[in-house]
Structure 1
Amino acid sequence: MTQIKGIHHVSAITANAAKNLHFYTEILGMRLVKKTVNQDSVSMYHLFYADERGRPGTDFTFFEIPNAGQTYRGSGSISRTGLRVASDQAVDYWYKRLSSYNVNVSQPETVYGRCQLAFEDFEGQRIQLISDQTNSGDPGGIPWSESPVPQEFGITGLGPVRLTVKQIAKTAELLTETLGFVKTGSYEENGRTVEVFSCGNGGAGAEIHLEPSPQEQTEKPGRGSVHHVALRVEDEQSLRHWIDVIDKRGFSHSGFVERYYFKSLYFRDPNGILFELATDGPGFETDESFDELGKNLALPPFLEPRRKEIENNLAPLSFS
């Protein structure tokens, strides 16, 4: 019951919600399953892209910060987000598709026994598509049938998340000694050894990859950077167990946070990485039907009395 199950979601920063919406729905073919606001700063959009219904482990989310500056890459960063697809054939499809849209994409290659390709979105967000053809562990989600991408090639969820840190041993200790991850392998990339840590049932959807930073400076985040990575826990009871664990280990943390669609805890590791633990439920159909997901501005009950004020402070956002 108290086991960390895998990656829950990844939250990043965009300076342009309209272009972001176009890229992730029209080019990547993900479904916008929730159009809401940052609950801690309600003047900014918070957009959730996922599989057909936003299953845990499929959400790539973005905060819109219109004045966000350039990201200056460095250590202490969530430096790459993995997105899973069903097969090696799907990776080949994506190389051709992304190239046709003039996306900055690399040739497919095999790394750690998996076919994959790296690319960046229009703001330099670093992403890696990873084939599940040889994957074990929990299956991915189900791509939306109304996506512009054929369902058999669609993105099924989040894959490994890469952290680039100066002091790998300290983050590795957090993962193994506190969160229950196990080191399951390593591979070489650009002359550096990347260590692989797994939790839950393992596989691409339950991996953190640790890369030693080639840079001394800490990353200065901006548009195209990742804000935090969230890990899956079963329910509120399990989350409260982890709050107690994190507290006893001496980490400064947020305490219990009610996010309405899930419940959360936030804390930073010794390298400055912001982690969240998030419950699998209740999910995005709490306030919208399956067919209506993402079509309207959704607000949790505690923000509903401020709807008019919030809507007046947001630029209209709709599908092209």
Structure 2
Amino acid sequence: MSRSAFSRLQAPWLLIAPSLVLALFIISYPIFNIIWQSLHDVSRFGAIRDFTGLQNFLTVFEDPVFLASTRRTLIWTVCVVGGTVLISVPVALVLNQDFHGRGVARTIVMLPWSVSLTMTAVVWRWAFNDDYGMVNVTLQRMGLISGPIHWLATPEFAFPVEIAVGILVSIPFTVTILLGGLSSVPGDIYEAARIDGASAWQQFRQLTMPLLRPFINMAILLNVIYVFNSFPIIWVMTQGGPDNSTHILVTYLYELGFRLGRPGEAAAVSLIMLVMLFVFSIAYLRLQPAKEGEPS
């Protein structure tokens, strides 16, 4: 290989090297710090003390709250992401149609995305308040309940309520991704399908869904990462209660590190979460080509 050809190959790497080094530092330093803490006894003020090996991990795995939080995290992620995608697809299809007031409708759907997730959780906590919340008041005026329901103080109700709120706040982002995908679909193929006698359902199943699948896959992957680490909704509404019945891993981690003063164990939980997300992301991306008939 000539020197000029070798220089041309090196040039792109030299141009991106500063940004690459900065990105590696930003990513690697916190991970190294968390690994270091997870292998040591750490005081509640962050002072690194004795080396303990895998003791923090063993302590976490023996904690029944951690095991329950892990199971609940999987339920939370599957339900919120699944419910979000199921609702967002028809909403995006409707908003993609040409009708009077479509711009206003799109604005209304996207508007919650501009509101802080913490503020949204505060509003819903007020809405589900036992005494003056609008949910109880509305249901009582409609005659559907005889007295106030303790939504956030009852384990059977609190977690499903938070899942419903999680779905509602995830819809705007997902609809935005799907609308971007629908806008790239040419309208000519639908006209050709109608000429060939294809019904609306056949057009949706044979044309819309295959063309929209890459965007649905993107929405699922991004939502899993986002929802898996979603902290404000559960912490603001119930703080993991009542009786630890709504804890997911991220709220359990926060409680370990900042309320119970066990940062070493919190670091171990954060590494477990990182590994879980990494394994899911790799597995999901590896499975997609096989589903679409491409070599993996």
Does the TM-score normalized on the shorter chain lie above 0.5? no
- Give me the TM-score of the superposition, normalised by structure 2: 0.24
Structure label with greater radius of gyration: 2
- Give me the TM-score of the superposition, normalised by structure 1: 0.23
**Larger helix fraction of residues:** 2
